[in-house]
Structure 1
Amino acid sequence: MTTSTADTRSDAAVGLKPYLRLLTATQFAFNTGFYAVLPYLAAHLGDGLGMAGWLVGLVLGLRTFSQQGLFVVGGALTDRYGPRPVVLTGCALRIAGFCWLARAESTGTVIGAVLLIGFAAALFSPAVESETARTAVTHEAATGTPRAQVLAVFSAAGQAGAFIGPLLGSLLLLTGGGFRTACLAGAVVFVGVLAGHARLMPHRPRRVKTTGTGAVRPRQVLADRPFLVLCLVHSSYLVSYNQLYLALPVEVERATGSQSALGWLFALSSLLVVVAQLPLTRWSARRIAPRTALVAGLAAVAAGFAAVPLAPDGPAGLLPGAALVVLLTLGQMLLVPATRGLVPDLVDDHRLGLATGALSSVSGLAVLVGSAATGTLLDTPGPALWAVLAAVPLAGAALALTLSAGRHTTKPVATVTDDE
């Protein structure tokens, strides 16, 4: 039985098959457990363990590198062994890492724990993301539901976890549990994720075609020009998004005299994604091609940077920062599902895991370089700084125009049931 359009459903996730629901719930649980701990790590290292500021920065940087920089490893292992063993190993390592971090007191043990936590995500995330993209393509072929709509559910679930996780961590800290309790709570969340995947994920690796030249290496994937262009486009977005942690705090402090309002602005970003991601993607998947979504998203990000020096000061001092957050989040909601949906069109199925990991690793390297460059510009006059920042997503939009348009759906989509 069908309806005239999938929009009649009150919850877009209702139309997903059980396996896609598992992957989506996994993303929610993953971010809930992760963000119950991460926002409080710096304070724990500095205030709780007495580490110097430079050492705290080094530890946080090592965590980011061990995660984002090694995504390509997790993606390659997913292609080789299938998602199930990689996801289960990632969950087990994340549990061990959180438990270790809860007990770690010396610099060496803390570094070991955060490296383990980061590497666990480098295994887990590419496996789940590539499997979600692959299953979304299959779901699209079987039901007509645009893959971007499925991937938007996945993104919104992740943002909901990113919103709830810090609240869970704050609650544990306020009730006297301390950082150790937050770590153990995060570990418990991943025990649940591990149990769910051990029971529900396919037991055998996916059979994929292999080439006669042996294993596919990252450089072979990056030699694919359209995919490399997509990596650069995505990098321009992530370099821009990272300004929420670099340029936005500087702007908020300039406008209000403190950074106390940052938490509210981050909450605003997460709530926008949770509330608006699904209807916006449902609209864009049917009305515009993925390439157009990329260009429009990056243009919105650029508009956010351009709006900062134009917004008034005084009583409306937070208006520039709020405008940046809203427009950057709008751009994110347009381009992230489109990017993920384009990857299966640009690479062979047997390279999907590696490509998913490479997309994150290349972008992570770009963020590292871009952050260093941005840091040198933070003391320049405001209009010059924001003009340079706006140029980055505009360059990405120009690159996106060289990609193929990608697939989009213009006809109403039939209701999807679990029996299909």
Structure 2
Amino acid sequence: MHELHSDRMSGAETRAASGLALVFAFRMLGMFMVLPVLATYGMDLAGATPALIGLAIGAYGLTQAVLQIPFGVISDRIGRRPVIYVGLLIFAAGAVLAAQADSIWGVIAGRVLQGAGAISAAVMALLSDLTREQHRTKAMAMIGMSIGVSFAVAMVVGPLLTRAFGLHGLFWATAGMALLGLLVVAAFVPRAASHLQHRESGVARQALLPTLRHPDLLRLDLGIFVLHAILMASFVALPLSLVQEAGLPKEQHWWVYLTALLVGFFGMVPFIIYGEKKRQMKRVLLGAVSVLLLCELFFWRFGNSLDALVIGTVVFFTAFNLLEASLPSLISKVSPAGGKGTAMGVYSTSQFLGAALGGILGGWLMQHGGLDSVFLGCAALCALWLVFAVTMREPPYVTSLRLPLPPAAAQDGGLAGRISQLPGVTDAMVVAEEAALYIKVDSEQLDRTSIEREINAAPAC
């Protein structure tokens, strides 16, 4: 009988999950540490203008968006580790290029090269190779937590490192973290016995077109696009506001971000619990987008004192953290059985495109209209998102599962239909070449023994 119930993660699985989470954390630290400092320290670079500072902030998103899915496909063919090694070396090379640059164009070139080290899909695929089904969600949650923590740390450590060693030193530290991540993969992460073809952690070509035609998935893709566009554009304007409007020296900005992220992290938790427990995620989403819109208008109208900027930043990051945590969960709920990996691939590409556009747009608005135009531009993007989000249906409160099948069950053409009729199952799909069953289930209604019974009742070939 196939065992659906989970037990403890093995030592190898724990090493794989924690090691790959560290790789993600090092890479995200390197990517995000420049956000709170580039708009202030970057103006000392030769040729720097607000528009080019914005381009430097968002440039990594362009190459990341273009190369992320192709790198994942290549990892299916030549192996996960070679792609991860090459990606981290490319990322380190980009950081070295930026560290040696004396002009803004050199920093832009380095950021573009950093983004070309697009290893996210390959890392998630390797995680799938190294973990059993019942632990994969837990392992992916560890990576999700590492990304969130690294963003928070980057907002604080970036200003402190730059204060101590300058912008060049910050990029050298970024290169060192990329090489440290490479060592973690080589020495700490176990080696996989085989490559797992897995539709929950990789892009399936057959699922790509349906994903691009799915109205609610497209609304969520627009959401993450706008969220990261607003983030990057805001970091063109917020650091300058703290200096120019509030008179806070750039060396002291770290405490503003630390306060905002700590309060924002704990502030979002009750809303996440409310949305999930009361099944009101759409209401939570709309509320958070509305708060973001009001924050940008607040920055525009009242952002001329330190107290106002700190309060606005705290509320901004509360709403941002809430949306950053909620949107991937909504993608998982809304995507069809067997389509989560593809939906997440499109979602991530949208996120990086949003980061690129946000940096470029924020810099352009800053150069041509000043701080106020950046905040008003971000408010307009929030309003656009709100218009589309209002029309979204309440998401189904379901979980995605992938269950390996015995040979007889994998060839049973009627299995998916019978499984989908069971209480608590909203969608089911059998992928014979993977010998796997993908299902969407409502955990409050699911009867696991009935699924096991159907799987084991499949007629012998």
Query: Structure 2 length as normaliser, TM-score?
Result: 0.63
2:46 partner SS: coil
Deviations 1:243-284 (A, max 9, x none): 432444565467435675755433333333555566764554
> Aligned equivalents of 1:255 and 1:240: distance in 2?
20
Structure 2 contact 292–382 (Cα < 8 Å) conserved: yes
Contact 2:53–2:236 (CA<8 Å) still a contact in 1? no
Q: How far apart are residue 326 of structure 1 and its match?
A: 1.8
Cα–Cα, structure 1 residues 155 and 253, in superposed 2: closer, same or farther, change >3 Å?
A: same
Residue 97 of structure 1 is matched in structure 2 by 94
1:231 aligned to which of 221, 226, 250: 221
User: Hey, what does 2:390 align to over in structure 1?
Assistant: 401
Q: 1:220 to 1:168 in 2, by over 3 A?
A: farther
C-alpha displacement of 1:20: 3.8
Residues 256 and 318, structure 1, Cα contact 8 Å, conserved in 2: yes
Which residue matches 1:116? 113
Residue correspondences, number: 377
Give the equivalent residue in structure 2 for 1:8.
none
**Quick one: which amino acid aligns to residue 403 of structure 1?**
M
Q: Decide which structure has the larger Cα Rg and report it.
A: 2
Q: What is the deviation of 1:399?
A: 1.7
**Residue 52 in structure 1 maps to residue 47 in structure 2:** yes
Q: Is structure 2 residue 180 aligned with structure 1 residue 192?
A: yes
Aligned partners of 1:279 and 1:37: how far apart in 2?
30
Change (3 A) 1:129 1:359: farther
Residues 139 and 253 of structure 1: is their aligned pair in 2 closer, same or farther, counting only changes over 3 Å? Answer: farther
* 1:16-415 correspondence to structure 2 within 5 Å: 18-34=15-31, 47=44, 51-54=46-49, 58=52, 61=55, 64-82=58-76, 84-103=81-100, 112-120=109-117, 123-125=118-120, 127-128=122-123, 153-166=145-158, 169-170=161-162, 172-173=164-165, 181-198=169-186, 199-200=188-189, 203=192, 204-208=194-198, 215=205, 221-249=211-239, 252=242, 255-256=245-246, 260=250, 262-273=253-264, 276=267, 281-282=272-273, 284-308=275-299, 317-344=305-332, 345-346=334-335, 348-349=339-340, 351-352=342-343, 354-364=345-355, 366-367=357-358, 370-371=361-362, 374-375=365-366, 378=369, 389-408=378-397
Q: Structure 1 residues 129, 161: CA separation in 2 closer, same or farther (over 3 Å shift)? A: farther
Moved more, 264-273 or 403-412: 403-412
- Cα deviation for residue 21 of structure 1 reads 3.3
Q: Secondary structure at the match of 1:206?
A: coil
Cα separation, 1, equivalents of 2:388 and 2:191: 38
Give the C-alpha shift of residue 114 in structure 1: 3.7
Evaluate the alpha carbon distance shift between residue 337 and residue 202 of structure 1 in structure 2; reply closer, same or farther with a 3 A threshold. farther
Instruction: Measure the CA separation in 1 of the matches of 2:104 and 2:321.
Output: 39
Q: 2-side partners of 1:254 and 1:95: how far apart?
A: 34
Counterpart CA distance in 2 for 1:136 and 1:290 is: 30
1:332 counterpart letter in structure 2: F
Say if 1:94 and 1:117, in contact at 8 Å, map to a contact too. yes
Task: Give the aligned residue type for 1:292.
Answer: R
Q: Deviation at 1:207?
A: 0.8
Query: What is the alpha-carbon distance in structure 1 between the residues aligned to residue 90 and residue 313 of structure 2?
Result: 34
For residues 265-309 of structure 1, the C-alpha deviation after alignment (integer angstroms, 9 at most, x for no partner) is: 333333335555667645544344443332222122123234447
**Residues 17, 335 of structure 1: CA spacing in aligned structure 2 closer, same or farther, 3 A cutoff?**
farther
d(CA) in 2 for partners of 1:247 and 1:187? 27
- 1:74 CA displacement: 1.2
Greater shift in the superposed pair: 324-333 or 354-363: 354-363
Q: Secondary structure at the match of 1:331?
A: helix
Distance in 1 separating the partners of 2:34 and 2:59: 18
Amino acid at match of 1:304: C
Unpaired segments of 5 or more residues in structure 2?
1-12, 399-441, 445-461
The alpha-carbon distance between structure 1 residues 216 and 269, as it changes in their structure 2 partners (threshold 3 A), is farther
Task: List alignment gaps of at least 5 residues for structure 1.
Answer: 1-15, 413-420
Deviations 1:121-148 (A, max 9, x none): xx134555788899999668978x9x8x
- Structure 2: how far apart are the matches of 1:190 and 1:286? 39
Cα deviation code 1:353-399 (max 9, x no counterpart) = 6324322244235525753775488469x7x9867754532432332
Q: Which structure has the highest strand share of the two? A: 2
Code of the aligned partner of 1:119:
A
- Secondary structure of the structure 1 residue equivalent to 2:119: helix
Please give the alpha-carbon distance, in whole angstroms, between the structure 2 residues aligned to 1:183 and 1:265.
22
Going from structure 1 to structure 2, the CA distance change for 1:239 and 1:45 (only over 3 Å counts) comes to closer
